[in-house]
Amino acid sequence: AQGPTPGWRTDRGRVYIVHGPADEIEMFPNAAANEFPYERWLYRGALRKSFTFRGPLLETTISLAERPI
Handedness of CA 28, 29, 30, 34 (dihedral sign): positive
Q: What is the pLDDT of residues 16-57, one digit of tens each?
A: 999 999 999 998 887 676 777 888 999 998 889 999 888 766
Is 0.75 surpassed by the pTM of this model? no
DSSP annotation of 37 reads: -
Give the DSSP per-residue string, 39-59: EEEEE-TTT-EEEEEE-SSTT
Rounded Cα distance between 20 and 22, Å, is 6
In terms of C-beta density within 10 A (0-12 exposed, 13-18 middle, 19 or more buried), how is residue 39 classed?
Answer: middle
Q: Residue 44 has what pLDDT? A: 93
Answer whether residue 4 shows pLDDT above 80: no
